[in-house]
Structures are given as C-alpha cells and as structure tokens.
Chains A and B, each alone.
Chain A
C-alpha cells in the first residue's frame, strides 16, 4: 500500500531541548551622544524619560534601544520644593516607581530604596540614581550575567569628558548575583579606573556604584559615579570644574535640571555600553527518518509522462526522487509546519537520511 505520510514514534523521533543563546550588544557612545545630532533621541512632553534609538527615530529603520531617566528618593538631600528644584515630584515618582518594581516593599508596605550592596537589612542606600532601561529588543530574555560594561567619561571638564574614564561592570555577576528582588536576579555594578586614574583607589572588583537587574534589563547607576567615587567630582554642564562652579555638580544638576537635561548629561559622558543578552530557546527537534524503502516515488505531476515514470526506462531501474521540503502534519493531515532544504536531496532505495527539523518557541 502506498503512503505519503510517515508517523513519528514519540519515543525516539522527537526531543525537547532548552538552549541559552547569547548575542553581543555593543552600543558605541557616539550613537548615544551625537552621531545623529540627537535626532535619534526622543523626548516626551511629559518629560519623565528619554528614549534612545539607533538611528533618527523618524525613520522606519530606527530601533528603540534603551530609555534613560533619573530620579531621587523623597529623603534625598537634593530633594526640595523651591523653585530651583525642577520636576522634583516627577523625579521622586520615577525613583519610587523603579524602586517599587525592582526593590519591592518592606514589611510595613513602604517602598524600599535601592541598596548599594544588595543587603536590604541596612547599609548605604542609593538615593540619587540614573536609570538605563534597555529595551527587550536588545536584552531579550535577560542580560547575561558578568557581561555588562559601561564606560563613562569622568574628566572634570565637561567638554572633554573622555580624557579620563571609568569602567562600570557587573564584575561578580556570573557567580555573585542577588535574588532578593521582586524583579528577578540582579548584580552589583562596580567601577574601576579606565583611562587615567580618576579614582584614587578601589578594590579588586572595583567600588560599588549601582545595580544591574538582569531580567528586567535595567541598570541603576548611583550619582556617586560622577561625584564621591572620584578624586575630582565632574562637571555635568560646564568646562570649569565643580570646585569653582558647584552648581554644575551631579547632585546640583539632578536637582536643578529637568530629567531630560540629566539624561543629556549622562549621554554626554557615555563612551561605550557593552553587554551580552540571553535568549532562552525552547525547541522541539523532529527527526524525520527516510529509510531505504521510504519516499522513493513522487506525486509530482512532472514525475510521470502518461503514468510512466520519467526517471526510469525499465522497471528494474532504481526509482529516484529529490527532496526539497519537509512537512509536519497533525493527525488529521493539517500542515502545521514546513521546512525547506537549501538544495535538492537525492533519495533512492540505496540511500537513507534523517532530516532534523527544529521548531523554536
């Protein structure tokens, strides 16, 4: 009896597998800070955050790569209600929103502040922070632990920021991440000297300067990266140093500039951002086995001329077919998936092969 379908043996013809794929995501600082004359930077009328694209965002080719925002806790020293405190409530709202999602609530139901070392029982809190929210397009399922590097220009002179740099990494991420966040796993960000020695000293891993939430794809960067971490605090807006113009210090700018202005200042000092993402790939592999007696004839109309096979002269000749596709069917013959071979594959009674079709979910 002829047949064109072959039933899978579920015990040996299919297997479910899980793989983690990683992609390297390098974001050069020039994209962030000027290549497109800021046409790739989108600010919103609400002023709560700023979006960064990899191309002018009015183009359909543009991809949204990350968002920037800044905020501080209500108890921060830069918080205040005077006229010089620009967008004070919005900055507090941003901080609280991010803290609520990423750090959660304490036993009394109050929003926890970000903790510098991840030990929620005490220690230094990050009260003033920049937030880098990487889009799912780039981070996919999560940022790969131990792969994050952010290079910031921390030269005191705002107009020449990259004369000195620091590298901020999740140095302990691959084996020292934390799991006490409602948003999944996170690691501590550490800063070390890059170009020059802007930091007078730091430990082997560096000095804690923020948090990286792997599944959420959010980096929380303490404002200390531009201030107390360094030998000379940097100016976030002027050529002259902070010593002569304290109003240009990071905390002063956090208070007196709008969120978009703070995002601009951070972008101006971003030299590079590099990380690997992770894609969790669940696959079912179907082994489509063509044994020597299988699939040696075709129902292709060109296979026959007056019902006679064109590939044979005599009945003793070997039949031959050429496979270009594999169809996967339901029990009631519905075509659910199809796979195409890149070139025709010859099949005769003298050959056998197994086509391995992988469906990813």
Chain B
C-alpha cells in the first residue's frame, strides 16, 4: 500500500472493497450504493498549529502536506473516522465514547486494559464455584445471563469545562450505535437479557454488525442503550449522553472446540485469578480480539480489547 502521487492535480483512487466485490458477485441486487461519507483516517489534527507566528496560512501547513495512502480493499480497515455534519458552526465541544471502566461491574481485568471472556463451562468453573461471582473484567461467556460483569461504554462531552449537571444538547446525543464483533467468537447479548441479538449484517471477514438503539428493548426485554442522567456516575466528565451495556456470549465453536484457539490463539502467559481461584498460565489458551462501538450519527468510534480464554488442561 503505497502513497498516492500528490505532485499534480488531485486525483481519486477508487476501489471496490472486498465486501463490495462479494455483494457484486452475489448478483442479487445487494450491491446498491445509496449513500456516502467522507473520511480523514490519515489526518493528525494535533498538527494543527493555531498559534503559528507566521499567521493563519501556516496553521495547517503540516496537515496539508500529509501523504495519503492508497485505498485499501478491506472494508474494516478504511473509513475508520468519518467527517460529521452539524447544522451549527459554533460548536466547540463534540461528544466522545469511552469504555466505562470505573463503574461497578464494567472494569477491565486487573493488569490488562482488556476484558476476558471465559468461553466454556469448564473455564468458568475453574474461576468461580457459583457462576455468578467473578472478579472485575471477567465475563461469563458460557452463561452471560449469570453474574453482573459487563462491557459498558459512556457517551458525552468528556470535559471538566462544562458541568456534569448540564444536560447534553440533543444534537450531540447519540441514540444509535453500531457494535461490531468477530462472529466466530461471540454474539452480543444485552445486560439483563438471556438471548443473543441477531446481527444486522456479517461481512466477508466474519465481522458481525449489530445496530442498537436507545430504549429499544431486545427480545429478552432488556435495553442495550439507555440515557445517563445528569450527574450520574460515569466515566464522562461533563454532560452525559447515552450508555451501552452488553455482554458477550461465546459461540458454540469456542465452547466445544479448541480449533480456533489452536489456529488463532496463544498459550496463556500469566495466571488468571478470581477471588481465591486461579487458572494457571499453562492451563489455558486465548485469542485477542476487538469489540468496536461506533456512534451512528456522531461517528465516534472506540475499540475495546477483548480476550477469549479457554481452559485446555
């Protein structure tokens, strides 16, 4: 993947993504382009020097010299950050999405900036005798309906320059999210529910996309997206927006087979502990993956590290 020649006129280097080619090959009308977005993946806005003594013409001189990479065909690797349209030009703060790790039940596993999903009954039983009580960051992938640990994200203005008692502007409130996870490893389940959601699509790389909406109850009656009240506990410092709360149900393949662990995984390197229970490093394998949460309207994306663990001996 080289850089594009930027010595002359602006050119556009366009390619179909692998998913686009797949949809085209299916020949059933699924290749139907209906909307577009602009992206700025290569841009480091930290290079914007609004105090440059040479004047405003030099504020973005470094940004404009950024070389642009050729188009990639992997649909998951392109357009990671999109440009956003707001009707107002006077916005100074924009909302972000952060993993809510300081609130009870959704902290990372100690020592890892990651959640650990225990994929089968034997692995869960090696770390708890009740199926309900696991240390923070350990998720029961075998029976997600048991226990209180979950993955949680908070959305809002993450600044201490605006009081957290102020309600977030409705135009900055995210009401719908894309949640993406590798469909070979897990499916999405709402906190408080006992039934996995159905993905809205699964791409050629087995990435399942779920669309979850504010106050939209799932089949099991639980919501994934809810409002955060002003001033409520949150990892957002300023005005709060919405929160997602979800669990991951490991797939039947991960529960019953070690093939994916042998193919994609690694032998354990450190012991995993929960209360007084320990799963020794030599006794498990793990696969590192990512859960991606993106705001549909605000476009902000956060990747959350997830480690799938299976006891092997």
Contact = CB atoms under 8 A, between A and B. Distances in A.
Given A311-B45, A326-B38, A331-B35, A342 B10 contact: yes
B170 to A, nearest CB: 8
A8 B85 contact: no
B181 interface: no
B201 A2 contact: no
A308 B12 contact: no
B238 interface: yes
B4 A340 contact: yes
A323 B40 CA distance: 5
A296 interface: yes
A302 interface: yes
Contacts of B288: none
B12 A309 contact: no
B71 interface: yes
A83 interface: no
A297 B85 contact: yes
A2 B86 contact: yes
Contacts, number: 290
B92 to A, nearest CB: 4
B39 A307 contact: no
A322 B82 CA distance: 11
Contacts of B10: 341-343, 345
B91 A1 contact: no
Nearest to B97: A299
A320 interface: yes
Given A301-B81, A335-B79, A307 B94 contact: yes
Given A8-B35, A309-B92, A340-B69, A335 B20 contact: yes
Interface in A88-111: none
Contact of B297 (A4, A290, A358): A4
Interface residues of B, number: 83
Contacts of A6: 35-37, 85
Contact of B41 (A324, A346, A355): A324
Interface in B19-68: 19-20, 23, 30-46, 48, 50, 60, 63-64, 66, 68
Interface string A285-300: 0101010011111111
A338 B79 contact: yes
A342 B6 contact: yes
Interface string B79-93: 101111111011111
B64 A346 contact: yes
A284 to B, nearest CB: 8
A322 B64 CA distance: 8
Interface in A256-279: none
A310 B60 CA distance: 12
A178 to B, nearest CB: 35
The number of chain A residues touching the other chain, given as a range, is 35 or more
Interface in A314-331: 314-316, 318-331
A340 B85 CA distance: 20
B82 A349 contact: no
B122 interface: no
A328 B299 contact: no
Given A329-B37, A336-B33, A300 B14 contact: no
A148 B168 CA distance: 71
B157 interface: yes
A325 B277 CA distance: 50
A62 to B, nearest CB: 25
B169 to A, nearest CB: 10
Given A315-B91, A325-B68, 12 more contacts: A1-B170, A4-B84, A298-B84, A322-B63, A328-B36, A330-B23, A330-B32, A336-B23, A338-B78, A338-B79, A339-B14, A342-B13
24 contacts: A1-B171, A3-B84, A5-B37, A14-B33, A293-B85, A294-B85, A298-B43, A306-B237, A307-B159, A310-B46, A314-B92, A320-B60, A322-B63, A324-B41, A325-B41, A326-B36, A328-B35, A329-B36, A330-B30, A334-B203, A336-B31, A337-B16, A338-B78, A342-B10
Listed from nearest, the 4 A-B pairs whose CB atoms lie closest are: A299-B299, A336-B20, A339-B14, A325-B39
Interface of B: 4-6, 10-17, 19-20, 23, 30-46, 48, 50, 60, 63-64, 66, 68-73, 75, 78-79, 81-87, 89-96, 157-161, 170-172, 178, 200-201, 203, 209, 237-238, 295-301
Interface of A: 1-8, 14, 284, 286, 288, 290, 293-304, 306-316, 318-347, 349, 355-359
